[in-house]
Structures are given as C-alpha cells and as structure tokens.
Amino acid sequence: MFYTFNSSEFGKKLRIIRKKQKLTQNFVCQKLSMSIDGLGKIENGKVMPRFDTLVKMSQFYRINLIKLMSDSFKMLDLEKYYATAQECINCENIDELDRLILEIKNIISTGKNLDLILFDELTQFILFCESSLLFIKNGAINLSKAKNIAIDALKITIHNFNLFNFHEFNYSLFEIRLLHLLALIERRNENYYTAIDILHHLQKIMPLDKDNIAFIQLMNQVLFSLAYSYSIIEDHKNCLYYANIGIDYSIANNRLNELHLFYYRKGIAEFHLNNDQYIHSLRTSIALLEAVKNPLSDTYRTVSYEKYGIQII
C-alpha cells in the first residue's frame, strides 16, 4: 500500500483559505517569519510544507491544516493493479491493459510528491503491462520487444540484471512477476530450457508465506508454468511431478479455482506415461470446471479428443 500526495491540490486550498481571510502573502509571512518565496512555493504546489510550518500555519489560520493535508493524500494499492493486470493477461484483454497503463501514467504525471520507490514501481508496472501487451499480440517482433521491455523494467531496480546473471539477485514481489513474464516470453520464443531455468529459480527463492495471497497466487503460476513447460518438451515425468506439487500446494492454500489446470496437466502426463489413472485426473479437471459452470470444460473435452484421441465422458 502506497500513498501519493497532490501538493497542487493542497496548495490551492491554502491559497483559498488565505484569500477568504483577506490576508496577503506578505502579511502572513511577516507573522509566521516565512519568506514570500517559500509561501508562494507551498501555495503553488512546488514544495510540501514542513510539519512545524504546518503547525504554525494551522494556529494562525485557526484551521486544522494537518487534517486538510491528509485529505490530499491518495491511497494507492498497487497489488490491486497487478491483480487486474494479471486477469487481463489471462483473458488476453488488450483494451483493459491499455486503460491500466494510461491510469498509472496519469498518477505519475499528477503526483507531485511521489517517493523514489513508488515512482520506480509504478514505472515497472507500466513496463510490465506494455511487455504483456506485446506478449499477448505474439509474433517474433512483438516478442523481441516484450523481452527487451521486461529486461529494462528489471534494470530499473537491479541495474546489472541480464538473462545470464539472474541467479545472483534477490527479488521483490514486483520483480518476481517481471521475471516470471520473462520466462513465459522465453518459452514462447522456444527457448524452453532458459524458461525452465528461470522458473526453477523462482520456485527456489519465493517465500512460503501463507498469509500473503499475492505470493501464493504467483507461486501457483510458477508451478503451473513449470508443469506446462515440461509438457511442451515432452518431459512427462517432470510435468507430472510439478502438476502433483501444484495440486498439493493449491489445496493446502485454498486455491481451488486453479486446481483444474494442474489436474489436466497431470492427466495428460499420465496418459503419455501409460498410467491408467489419467482418465480419473482428466475427469477431475473437467468436473472442477463444470462445478463453477466454466465453459472451458467443453474446450478441454474437445482438445483432449482432437489432440490426444482421449474421449472424456
């Protein structure tokens, strides 16, 4: 959770208060031992007043300016933005991603007192969305641009980052999201082993924090990405291994809405490994979808029959 301060809005309110009391800047500055230049900068939103200055001005104007100042702070829950962005990526909703990018750019342009950490994370978020847009659009040129943008985003906070030394760093939650996106881009570029290497590293470094929903959701994405990546290169034993880990992790952390993904990968892997349990796993996947009336159940049946010759009744 972060806060941005709209100093222009606060300064405008101060100017209105002074003028309503029919006071000149010169008179206020004489009474409060302030410079006219300093008061002018505060009223024009150029600087944020110090606390002691705010107290003196409150006493002079007989108005609680500390409360007034707090009204000019805006709470910014970046986690909600990332959750929305991830949903857009899952659904390939390009229009909503574009809207999110414009909204964050507007916050940056109007937030007069963004601290450096928040500014960096907002910038990384914009680059995350822009890279995701190109990833969704696909194609060699778009994927190349998406990769470069994701790397540039990570370099904002990890200046020496590249795909050859990514093992050397610790990552924040935001940076882990970017690195996961890079893994997906590399996989789509058919650099499968680079993608798998990144995903293994993410699984290794991510904290097992059962109270952090964002980490739990991201770990589930990493585990599914591993299972799916191994499925692509036809390493069915490892695909089955990570599908089972994903099932156990989803159940332990009450992420039941994602179970169908792991059961489907589990079933296909078991099919290739001549394990008779495959039909049970695939039926479980479809039953989970049907329980919430998800139309993907029909897609799963169609793909299973057309690609693998498996008829799921």
Q: What is the pLDDT along the chain (313 residues), one digit of tens a residue?
A: 445 566 777 888 999 999 999 999 999 999 999 999 999 989 988 888 888 888 999 999 999 888 888 776 655 667 788 888 888 888 889 999 999 888 888 877 765 445 545 678 888 889 999 999 999 999 999 999 999 999 999 999 999 999 999 999 988 888 999 999 999 999 999 999 999 999 999 999 987 666 778 889 899 999 999 999 999 999 999 999 999 999 999 999 998 888 999 999 999 999 999 999 999 999 999 999 999 999 999 999 999 999 999 999 8
| Angle between helical axes of 213-232 and 173-188 (0-180°, round to 10) | 20
Q: CB burial class (10 A; 0-12, 13-18, 19+) of residue 190?
A: exposed
Question: What residue has token string 């800047």?
Answer: 25
Give the number of residues written for the chain. 313
Q: What is the distance between the alpha carbons of residues 161 and 275, in angstroms, rounded to a whole number?
A: 43
**Furthest C-alpha separation in the chain:** 89
**Token reading at 14:** 């101060």
| pTM given for the model | 0.75
Kindly give the residue spans of alpha helices, DSSP state H, lying in 73-212.
78-91, 94-110, 116-137, 140-157, 173-188, 192-205
